[in-house]
Structure 1
Amino acid sequence: MELRHLRYFLAVGEALNFTKAAAQLRVAQPALSRQVQDLEDEIGVDLLKRSPRGVTLTAEGKLFLEEVRELLKRADESVEKVRALARGEYGELHVGYAPSPTVEILPPALAAFQKAVPRVKVLLHDLSSDELVTGLRDASLELAIMVPPAGDQTTGIQFELLLSYPLCVAITAAHPFARLKSITLEMLAAEPLVGLRRKDYPEYYHFIDRIFAPIHAKPRIAVECDSASSLITEVEAGRGISLASPSFKLVAGKRLLYRTLTGTTEMGSVGIARATNGDVTPAGEKFCEILRKISAGATAAKSKREGLERIS
């Protein structure tokens, strides 16, 4: 039994006329009659009553007509879904992210993507950088929006830069640095720092080692945190100060103050990571393209603000 046999029967069962059904299907009437008869022979049940006056459905034919109608509807829907999936317009997209560095670009990108392809369900996973890399490698994540991986994290991972940004320092209003407009590397090196947990964020330590290398200093990590939210709490409690990105302000808000870090050319950055040998679906590629556009817009807006500040 093939789907075309069912479509032939559906046309005849709805039209109750072989001539009309044949015209609708654009097949010869004798061929249509033979195909429907073959279907009845295969099932072993008479579906139609044929007479010189026309065609009617048997009780079995009426039941089969309803079943065929639903079956063909589901078949057509399945074909449409598969085609939509191939176009990147259907399915699920698992995206990992690090909250603090992605807060500027991920929400608008997600909103734009869902508007463009509403039938793709984006599932976000808030994870540490090490968990993000693991998720990409084991294919539980298709994409990760994160800071650049470092060391062992880079194996099997492809990274595409989206945004770069100058660093700042997060402090409390009660800290002596609060009266300053900027903080030097030497000043930062003398302070206890609140950082991320080495086990979960190894790239963080590669990064801060590069920052302090020009002054031959080692960062004084007083507290290691497992997330941006706990880091904010520790700084707010006076346990130390912390390196931060401008987007960190959107997460911590007015709970902390932020001062420019001088004396370093190192920039923070965020981008798209994927497994080198992994498959990114058409939906994933669409999401990447939207992230690129949002990031380019954020970079252009930042450059415009800086230009206006220099003029003023």
Structure 2
Amino acid sequence: MAAMELRHLRYFQAVAEALNFTKAAAQLRVAQPALSRQVQDLEDEIGVDLLVRSPRGVALTAEGKLFLAEVKDLLTRADEAVEKVRALARGEYGELHVGYAPTPTSEILPRALASFQEAAPRVHVVLHDLAGDEMYAGLREGALHLAITAQSAWDAPITGVAYEELRQYPFCVALAPGHRFAKLKAVSLAEVASEPLVALRKRDYSEYHVILDRIFAPSKLRLRIAAEVDGANTLITGVESGRGVAVVTELFRGITGDRLLYRPITGCPIAQSVGIATAAQGDITPAGEKFREVLRDVAKGLGTASGRKGTASVRGKR
């Protein structure tokens, strides 16, 4: 025998467990003479007698008993390796690195993760909370398999990154429960501009101010920024304490609960787009493709009540 093969090990295991060539041959569905020859070839290859043959059947030598234990372990690991590779090809095994921006993805991502982990429990999903530039670099370099983020309609395409929109969210005004806007069903752009505004700090969230400009500049409205804050939690506190109102997306409802009220902004020319970013070059992994399908299904299941088709979209800051 030129080289030991897994089939020879399986033949030996069958004979060693049945202690009978005829029974083992029937189990393996091979001719008994061929089975005898293959086991003999295996013994010749190893240079050790594994079986004692007699008219009544076979018995294991001491070497045969040890070899059987080792063969069973080896074949089990080989079967597991094959099963894992097949599961990997189905997107049901392995590790999946996903970049995300917390606020824009707060509605879609938790639902998608729960559904995906139920469908593919052996895929270890590693989440990476990253800023936009970090996410795109991770996709291009292969550190991330995909990312769930927001995108700007007016920006030039991002080099090396493809974007698929899942859902749009309109902008609205967040206000304290006692604010005069609480009595209104909707608020106009001019009414929002007339109020003191709590905004994210420009040096840290420059894109948020680009969004404000995109919303209000076409109407030549000037904003009255009363306070610039360093994050979403501080913004919520500023609005709740009566320092002003804030322009946010409807996703903020899930963060603040009953602490703040939200009113749609009539005439708002843009909405926030949330979608899947992937590397433009190279194939997505099977697990990544399966997760992408789950994301699409979740977004579709959310309906279009809070989306606004046909508007420009923006990449939201975390």
TM-aligned CA distance change 1:102 to 1:49, over 3 Å: same
User: 2 CA distance for matches of 1:169 and 1:179?
Assistant: 13
SS of 1:45's equivalent?
Answer: coil
- Give, in angstroms, the shift of residue 287 of structure 1: 1.8
Instruction: Report the equivalent of 2:316.
Output: none
Question: Deviation digits for residues 24-43 of structure 1, max 9, x if unmatched?
Answer: 22222222222212222222
Percentage of identical aligned residues: 62
Give the one of 267, 273, 277 matched to 2:277.
273
Instruction: Report the equivalent of 1:251.
Output: 255
TM-aligned CA distance change 1:12 to 1:230, over 3 Å: farther
TM-aligned CA distance change 1:2 to 1:230, over 3 Å: farther
User: 2 CA distance for matches of 1:163 and 1:127?
Assistant: 20
SS of 1:135's equivalent?
Answer: helix
TM-aligned CA distance change 1:243 to 1:113, over 3 Å: same
Instruction: Report the equivalent of 2:13.
Output: 10
2:228 corresponds to which letter in structure 1? V
1:1-312 pair list within 5 angstroms: 1-149=4-152, 151=155, 154-173=158-177, 177=181, 180-189=184-193, 191-195=196-200, 203-216=207-220, 222-223=227-228, 225=230, 228-236=232-240, 241-300=245-304
Given that 1:130 and 1:153 are in contact with CA atoms closer than 8 Å, whether structure 2 keeps it comes out as no
- Give, in angstroms, the shift of residue 177 of structure 1: 4.9
- Give, in angstroms, the shift of residue 56 of structure 1: 0.6
Question: Deviation digits for residues 138-183 of structure 1, max 9, x if unmatched?
Answer: 2222121111157477221111111112211223346565565544
User: 2 CA distance for matches of 1:10 and 1:218?
Assistant: 83
- Give, in angstroms, the shift of residue 223 of structure 1: 2.7
Given that 2:202 and 2:209 are in contact with CA atoms closer than 8 Å, whether structure 1 keeps it comes out as no
1:195 corresponds to which letter in structure 2? L
User: 1 CA distance for matches of 2:133 and 2:239?
Assistant: 23
TM-aligned CA distance change 1:118 to 1:147, over 3 Å: same
User: 2 CA distance for matches of 1:155 and 1:233?
Assistant: 38
SS of 2:78's equivalent?
Answer: helix
Given that 1:160 and 1:271 are in contact with CA atoms closer than 8 Å, whether structure 2 keeps it comes out as yes
User: 2 CA distance for matches of 1:188 and 1:140?
Assistant: 42
SS of 1:273's equivalent?
Answer: strand
- Give, in angstroms, the shift of residue 266 of structure 1: 1.0
- Give, in angstroms, the shift of residue 209 of structure 1: 3.2
Question: Deviation digits for residues 117-153 of structure 1, max 9, x if unmatched?
Answer: 2222322233333332232222222121111157477
TM-score (norm 2): 0.82
2:73 corresponds to which letter in structure 1? E
**Which of the two has greater helix per residue?**
1
SS of 1:103's equivalent?
Answer: coil
User: 2 CA distance for matches of 1:54 and 1:269?
Assistant: 74
Given that 1:88 and 1:286 are in contact with CA atoms closer than 8 Å, whether structure 2 keeps it comes out as yes
User: 2 CA distance for matches of 1:183 and 1:300?
Assistant: 21
Given that 1:194 and 1:224 are in contact with CA atoms closer than 8 Å, whether structure 2 keeps it comes out as yes
Gaps of 5+ in 2: 308-318
Given that 1:194 and 1:239 are in contact with CA atoms closer than 8 Å, whether structure 2 keeps it comes out as no
TM-aligned CA distance change 1:143 to 1:232, over 3 Å: farther
Given that 1:172 and 1:238 are in contact with CA atoms closer than 8 Å, whether structure 2 keeps it comes out as yes
SS of 1:255's equivalent?
Answer: coil
SS of 2:281's equivalent?
Answer: coil
SS of 1:267's equivalent?
Answer: strand
User: 1 CA distance for matches of 2:100 and 2:306?
Assistant: 22
Given that 1:223 and 1:239 are in contact with CA atoms closer than 8 Å, whether structure 2 keeps it comes out as no
Instruction: Report the equivalent of 2:311.
Output: none
Task: Report the more deviating stretch, 88-97 or 70-79.
Answer: 88-97
User: 2 CA distance for matches of 1:27 and 1:272?
Assistant: 53
Given that 2:99 and 2:128 are in contact with CA atoms closer than 8 Å, whether structure 1 keeps it comes out as yes
- Give, in angstroms, the shift of residue 215 of structure 1: 2.5
Task: Report the more deviating stretch, 205-214 or 20-29.
Answer: 205-214
Task: Report the more deviating stretch, 38-47 or 233-242.
Answer: 233-242
User: 2 CA distance for matches of 1:165 and 1:86?
Assistant: 35
Task: Report the more deviating stretch, 113-122 or 228-237.
Answer: 228-237
SS of 1:299's equivalent?
Answer: coil
